[in-house]
Amino acid sequence: MYSCNSCMANILHNMRIIKEVFADILFMNRFRGNFKKSKGRLTRAKSYVNDTAFWKNLKLCIKLVAPIVGSIAAFESDNCSLSLSLIYAVFEKLKRNYLYTIAV
């Protein structure tokens, strides 16, 4: 879960660069016509890059996952001395986090 969260954060952090790469016609022409399978993938990737809802949902996903990842990291740390009941309490608190009440 940590690596997925980091990957999503890195994609969001590099949004401007990703958009510039997909807007670069000379670069994109390298991938046109080479493979029939890649054409569909390239078209789908371009649609994600140009979709403002994709970037908005990515931001929301990162916000939703961050408290969970933070809690799991605390539980897995070497100096964690939390009891099982405390772990349960933390996740009960996460359920009431305002991020999980947002209507999408």
* C-alpha span between 11 and 5 (Å, rounded): 10
Q: Which domain holds residue 36?
A: 2-101
* Its pTM surpasses 0.85: no
Q: Would you place residue 82 in the very low, low, confident or very high pLDDT band (cuts 50, 70, 90)?
A: low
**Structural domains of the chain, count:** 1
Burial class for 9, CB neighbours closer than 10 Å (0-12, 13-18, 19+)? middle
Please state, in angstroms and rounded to a whole number, the distance separating the CA atoms of residues 17 and 45.
14
Residue 56 above 80 pLDDT?
Answer: yes
Contact assessment for residue 49 and residue 19, using Cβ atoms and an 8 Å cutoff: yes
